Amino acid sequence: MTYLPANSRYDGMKYNRTGRSGLLLPAVSLGLWHNFGGTDRLENGRAMVRRAFDLGITHFDLANNYGPPAGSAEETFGQLLKQDLAAYRDELIISTKAGYYMWKGPYGEWGSRKYLVASLDQSLKRMGLEYVDIFYHHRPDPNTPLEETMAALDHIVRQGKALYVGLSNYSAEQTAEASLILQRLGTPCLIHQPSYSMFNRWIEDGLQDVLDTEGIGSIVFSPLAGGLLTNRYLNGIPQDSRAAGPSVFLQSDQITEGKLEKIKLLNAHAAERGQTLAQMALAWVLRGGRVTSALIGASRVEQIDDNVAALSTLDFSSDELAHIESILKD
């Protein structure tokens, strides 16, 4: 059956300006890090992408190594784009990244011009696209001059293979230096993608100030702390949870008795707000307008509905924020 997106798809979503650019991003974006790879069920991925777009999520975030196996999330999204969303390409923001290991030999990872240009060409082929809207350098390269990496990003934009460029996992100091180089080249940095949640607040120690000064937006990944900031861990570690087995998201030793107690107290406060814990956690990272978009992951459609519903209650009183701080403090 031909997919027709909901006519009301833009009615409930909030869109935020990305730094000092003209680009608006949805306050909630969908990441395809896991659950869209070659080992996952295509129809489940299709249902999630369709529902996301129906709810006004216009931004879909990928990377060359997303899967598993690496590259397969882009292949899956390419199928869904061709079959369902091709007619709506101009309503979509599609991003991908390069920086982590992808192929054998000296040119298959990090930040050389050779790797970044080749990787994006492969990504575009997997997705069936002529360009992506945002292309990120996925991680700093300690051995390649930053000037070379930023020049490669500038080159990619001038080739027409990306409209904007961004950084991910860069420190405050690295971001400031990279931004200066990109400005000199004439391709300003649009956005930074760091990890950020109630349990992971490193960006507050300098990075957010740099982003504000440089006019760079931010889209934060793992805003639910790998699932900790959901109702999954209110009664300990479930046997079918990420933390119960091998996971790149969450390890069981991260879940201490003290952290479980904090989760319960946060959940109680979320209930007082009329929200789930996940909804409050998303609202919290978006508080104050310093974060452009919260990047969610999902394994089923219902999680997307729950996450987007966070946008109906984004405000916190000063007393609420103080109470949350009292819970989070060591």
Q: pLDDT tens, 40-99? A: 999 999 999 999 999 999 999 999 999 999 999 999 999 999 999 999 999 999 999 999
> Going by DSSP bridges, is the β-strand pair 162-168/189-193 parallel, antiparallel, or unpaired?
parallel
Q: Is the pLDDT of residue 109 over 90?
A: yes
**Band of the pLDDT at 248, cuts 50, 70, 90?**
low
Rounded-to-integer distance, Cα 131 and Cα 95, Å: 9
Residues 6+ apart with CB under 8 A from 155: 113, 117
**This model's pTM is above 0.85:** yes
The H or E element that residue 179 is part of is helix 172-185
- For residue 264, the one-letter residue type is K
Instruction: Name the burial class of residue 106, with classes exposed (0-12), middle (13-18) and buried (19+) by CB atoms within 10 angstroms of its CB.
Output: exposed
Q: Write down the pLDDT at residue 233.
A: 87
Q: Check: CB of residue 20 under 8 Å from CB of residue 191.
A: no
pLDDT, greater one: 306 or 246: 306
- The pLDDT of 16-43, averaged and rounded, is 98
What is the model's pLDDT at position 250? 57
Contact 273, 309 (CB under 8 A): no
Q: Average pLDDT of 286-298?
A: 98
Output the pLDDT for position 58: 99
Q: Tell me what the mean pLDDT of segment 126-155 comes to.
A: 98
242 or 40: whose pLDDT is higher?
Answer: 40
- Which residues contact residue 109 at a Cβ distance below 8 angstroms, ignoring those fewer than 6 apart? 99, 100, 101, 102, 115
Q: What is the average per-residue pLDDT within 271-282?
A: 98
pLDDT score, position 243: 56
**Secondary structure E strands in the chain:** 15-17, 24-26, 28-31, 59-61, 93-98, 132-137, 162-168, 189-193, 217-221, 293-296
As a whole number, mean pLDDT of residues 289-306 equals 98
Single-letter amino acid, residue 293: S
What is the separation, in whole angstroms, between the first and last Cα of the chain?
Answer: 53
* C-alpha–C-alpha distance, residues 204 and 330, integer Å: 16
CA angle, corner 7, sides to 45 and 124, nearest 5? 40
d(CA 250, CA 71): 22
Tokens 């390649």, residue located = 144
User: What is the per-residue pLDDT for 34?
Assistant: 94
What angle do the packed helices 72-80 and 42-54 form, to 10 degrees?
Answer: 60
For residue 155, give both structure tokens: 């080159």
Give per-residue pLDDT as tens, 153-201.
999 999 999 999 999 999 999 999 999 999 999 999 999 999 999 999 9
Out of 67-81, 95-109, 249-263, 289-303, least confident range:
249-263
Confidence at 267, pLDDT banded by 50, 70, 90: very high
**If pLDDT is split at 50, 70 and 90, which confidence band does 287 have?**
very high
Cβ atoms of 227 and 233 closer than 8 Å:
yes
Q: Residue 214: pLDDT band by 50, 70, 90 thresholds?
A: very high
How high is the pLDDT of residue 253? 65
Residue 145 CA to its chain's centroid (Å): 26
Q: How many residues does the chain have?
A: 330
- pLDDT band at 247, cuts 50/70/90? low
Whole-number average pLDDT of the chain:
95
CA distances (Å), 259 to each of 12, 178, 246, 326, in order?
34, 36, 20, 13
Domain range 15-227+284-313, CATH class: alpha beta
Residue 130's CB: how many other CB atoms inside 10 A? 9
